[in-house]
Amino acid sequence: MEFKGHAHKFGDDINTDYIISGKYKFKTLDMNELAKHVMEDLDQDFYSKITAGDFLVAGRNFGCGSSREQAPLAIKYAGLSAVLAKSFARIFYRNAINTGLPVVECDTDQIEPGDELTVDLAAGVIHNMTRGITIAVKPLPPVMLQILNDGGLAAHFRKYGEFKLDQEENDGL
């Protein structure tokens, strides 16, 4: 899976309230509607700045705060192809994998706002075309990879009817 787009950059500790505010999420399950309000409290015009395929780039602890799964869904439905961050909060990370939003742990100091990137998830590498550099990606923990390869947790359950995971030593979450 390779994605190409531009970087929209935010700082550290972006919480799920900022990703999608509580005042919207209780109203509807229409994710296209929620997507229009993605990151609104930090940048009111953010949705209109997104071109399909773009990346949300952030610092440490992306997705901290509430457990709302509307957060990864709003990002996905807004047309963003992946989130790149130095680190992720754990509930958000699980939710992103479960709902099929690629989350990539890497050194985002090497990405500036507007940079053009290609992200190759299978090869685990990011090319910053604007700066002509390659950025290493921390591999997904095997258990997460297994869920992704099954097509997400819902597909995993349709296949097995329960959590059927390799329970060996894993690196990551």
Partner 1 sequence: MGQTIIEKILSNKSGKKVGTGDIVVAAVDFVMGQDGTSPLAINAYRAMEGQKLFDPSRVALVIDHSSPSPLEGVSNLHTLMRDFSRETGCKMYDIGDGVCHQLMLESGNIGPGSLVVGADSHTCTYGALNAFSTGVGSTDLAGALISGKMWFKVPETIKFVCHGTLPSGVYSKDLILFLIGQVTADGATYLSAEYTGEAIGALSIEARFTISNMAIEMGAKAGLMEADEKTFDWVKRYGGSGFTAVSADPDAVYAKVLEYDVSGLEPQLAKPHRVDNVAPLSELAGRPIQEAVIGTCTNGRLEDLRIAAGMLKGRRVSPDVRFIIAPASRDIYVQAMREGVLETLVLAGGAVVTPGCGPCVGTHNGVPSDGETVISTANRNFKGRMGNRNAEIYLASPATVVASAITGQITDPREFVSR
Q: Contact positions toward partner 1, by CB under 8 A?
A: 13, 15, 17-18, 21-23, 25-29, 40-42, 60-61, 64-70, 73, 87, 89-91, 94-95, 98-99, 141, 143, 152-154, 157-158, 161-163, 165-173
What CA dihedral angle connects 112, 115, 118 and 123, to 10 degrees? Answer: -20
Q: How far is the CB of 15 from partner 1 (least distance, A)?
A: 5
Smallest separation, CB 108 to partner 1 (Å): 15
Nearest-approach distance from CB 116 to partner 1, in angstroms: 29
- Strand 82-85 to 55-57 pairing: parallel
The separation between CA 125 and the C-alpha centre of its own chain, rounded to angstroms, equals 16
> By C-beta, is 49 or 157 nearer to partner 1?
157
* Length reported for the chain: 173
Strands 2-9 and 133-138: unpaired
Based on CB atoms, which residue is closest to partner 1, 5 or 77? 77
For residue 135, list its beta bridge partners.
126
> Which tokens in the block code for residue 2?
């390779």
| Cβ distance to partner 1 smaller for residue 73 or 117 | 73
CB of 80 to partner 1, least distance (A): 18
Q: Which residues of 28-49 are buried (b: 16+ CB within 10 A; e: fewer)?
A: eeebeebbebbbbeeeeebbee
Residue 55 parent element (H or E): strand 55-57
Nearer to partner 1, 5 or 72 (CB): 72
Distance in Å, CB of 2 to partner 1, minimum = 26
What CA–CA distance (Å, rounded) separates 24 from 90?
23
Residue 23 or 49 with smaller CB distance to partner 1: 23
